[in-house]
Structure 1
């Protein structure tokens, strides 16, 4: 498996977000790293409400959450296909588990990952041993990480060759820009398109075409965040789009504003 990502791809207005919250991505215990990309911890203490926006990765999360004046709770967040919006205010804390795309199913083998897609399920019966207070209450960060490790290690996650294959294929899409067409990718992997789509529905939650497009948008978003003079036509060609108009259409549909407008004001929140 590839090393955990340490970039901010997917976070809309990343600089503004990181200036407002304390965001960390610690590693899980060694036995969990095959399926879990990283944990993510956020603490905030805000004088005024802030709305975060994320262009989600093709990953499932288990998230332990504590918001102001609420009891702590746990939630399974399936792959979100639209912009993920979360309002933060007052003081709060989140301890999340980001599974590698394809890596969640061994911990919840009873249903296809596509059944979680687009959903945020609070206190799911799939994980009755989840104890939000045990994860969120400790003041010591290492203790919170240890509580996440204990929770996951208590679950049965035996070998699953199909999960391994799904993780490998998604990681290949993420790192290889030349993968642009599902049919070509399936052929290169010695699979039919139908078999590839069935694997992705069962283990990733979204289809391979969606994954290819999402990683393109993540890269375009990163360029918009860091380069004020992006050659959008050249980037569109580099990312495999037929032309700049197709990139602009996908970027606008996903982020909420055209890439040139976003690049001019990357800290501004897109319309909800």
Structure 2
């Protein structure tokens, strides 16, 4: 999961966008940090359409701090005026310290009362050159202090997420369970407790993101070949997934991107 615009359906429409690595202790808690900054002309709107990774996001913005759950559908946000956000794509090891039941947050978000985090990140974003690195640094220190050292169970949950949603991820829950030397039932419990959606749903979301990227990045790629490469039964299966989540077919998406 290293592509700088992975999950963003129309990268050319993005405002200024940066993805920063999680380093040191926070790397066990965060997959990466993401920072959009925008300055939209008065009276105009920049619509950002996203197919989120199968994970939770902790986000600091000017208005406050929010925790967003895993998503089962595409979403969008309309950006106006001047603003920024500093988000952390959370690994499962961080989730338990922030919410007891991540399944209750699927396709939703909630505001968190975290004034210290908000103040430190806001202060960092208001500085000059290097503000993004400083924002990530204070965010990282806050999260490490909040969560503490991951347990063995938390590290296994991280491995579960990588097996299901990481680069080279499994094509089926059974394959992921075999990689981790656990039962499929244990895999299902880990996914529910730490992400809130099923292993199968995590795999479907990863495959759809990969498919969207391949359709977008290689206009000449054959859709049947893409479907086979990603483990879809056939081209029709890929098209059904696209329509179910994005509301459009792969060919329509490709044409929209090329506009």
**Within 5 A, what are the aligned runs for 1:167-182?**
167-173=158-164, 174-176=166-168, 179-182=170-173
Corresponding position of 1:144: 135
Q: Are positions 1:112 and 2:101 aligned together? A: yes
Alpha-carbon deviation of 1:135? 1.3
Q: Following TM superposition, by how much is the alpha carbon of 1:93 offset from its aligned partner in structure 2, in angstroms? A: 1.2
2:49 matches 1:60: no
Unaligned runs of 5+ in 2: none
- Normalising by structure 2, report the TM-score: 0.88
Equivalent residues in 2 for 1:22-33, closer than 5 Å: 22-33=16-27
Change (3 A) 1:7 1:23: closer
CA offsets 1:215-245 (integer angstroms, 9 cap, x no match) = 1111110112111122111221221111111
Q: Is the 8 A contact 1:113 1:203 kept in 2?
A: yes
1:11 matches 2:2: no
221-230 vs 187-196, which moves further: 187-196
Structure 1 residue 114: deviation in Å?
A: 2.1
Hey, what does 2:148 align to over in structure 1? 157
Aligned to 1:69: none
Per the TM alignment, residue 183 of structure 1 is displaced from its structure 2 partner at its CA by 3.0
Q: 5+ residue gaps in structure 1? A: 67-71
8 Å CA contact 2:208–2:241 kept in 1: the answer is yes
TM-score (normalizing by structure 1): 0.84
Offset, 1:267: 6.1
Matched residue SS, 1:205 = coil
Q: Aligned partners of 1:143 and 1:188: how far apart in 2?
A: 37
Aligned residues: 251
| Over 6 Å off, 4+ runs | none
Aligned-residue Cα RMSD (Å) equals 2.1
Which deviates further from its counterpart, 200-209 or 141-150? Answer: 141-150
Greater RCO, CA 8 A, separation 6+: 1
Q: What is the rounded CA distance, in whole Å, between the counterparts of 1:156 and 1:12 in structure 2?
A: 32
User: Equivalent residue for 1:202?
Assistant: 193
Superposed counterparts of 1:1-272, under 5 Å: 5-17=2-14, 21-47=15-41, 48-66=44-62, 72-100=63-91, 102-108=92-98, 111-122=100-111, 124-125=112-113, 128-137=114-123, 138-140=126-128, 141=131, 142-173=133-164, 174-176=166-168, 179-266=170-257
CA distance in 2, matches of 1:154, 1:88: 32
The Cα offsets for residues 99-157 of structure 1, whole Å up to 9 and x where unpaired, read as 13x2322433x6133233222101x25xx454423312422314323331332233132
